[in-house]
Structure formats: C-alpha cells, structure tokens
Amino acid sequence: MDKEMHKALRLLDAGQTGRAVTILEEIIAMARQERMPVLLVRASCVLGEVYYLQGQLDTARTYFTDVLNTPLDTDVADYEKGRAADLLDRII
C-alpha cells in the first residue's frame, strides 16, 4: 500500500487532485478494514489537507478529527497528528 500512497502524493504534486483523492479514499477504506492505523492516519491527514486547501472545511475537519482520534501504539505518525491538530485549530 506504500506504493499507492506514494502514487497519490505524486499525483497531488502533478496537480491531478481528483485521481489522488480517489486513491487516498481507497487507501483509507482499506486501512480501516485491515486495521492499519498508521496508514489510516497518514492518508487521512493528506486528504484532510487537500480538502482544507480547497476550502472544503467541514470535510477537512472530519478527516483531521479522524487523525486525532485514531489511537496509535507508536510515535511514527506524530508529524501527521501534529499537522492535523494545527490545521484543525485554524478551522475552528
């Protein structure tokens, strides 16, 4: 699934937001089903930021809240949790 995440990030860099969003939504669905919280946090943070930058603040808020509410046993996604908290503060 790392390949898909990298693909989504490359698509975002290339301005192909629609395709990237589709891939990120698929990653999130799979991460929920397979109970992969780190991947869920990372993909949700990126997707939340996409919606934030597009001005879709209610949707962004949902993804950022999911990031912050996802329990992790590791600090590997601390950056994403911090980023989500920062952007969520700007929305509220």
Across all residues in the chain, what is the average pLDDT? 96
pLDDT of 10 reads 98
- Tally the C-alpha atoms within 13 A of residue 48's C-alpha that lie toward its C-beta: 28
pLDDT tens string 24-64:
999 999 999 999 999 999 999 999 999 999 999 999 999 99
pLDDT of 84 reads 97
pTM: 0.94
pLDDT of 2 reads 86
Q: What is the DSSP letter of 16?
A: -
Q: Do 22 and 30 contact (CB within 8 A), yes or no? A: no
* Domains in the chain, CATH or no CATH each: 2-91 (1.25.40)
Q: Quick one: pLDDT band at residue 92, thresholds 50, 70, 90?
A: confident
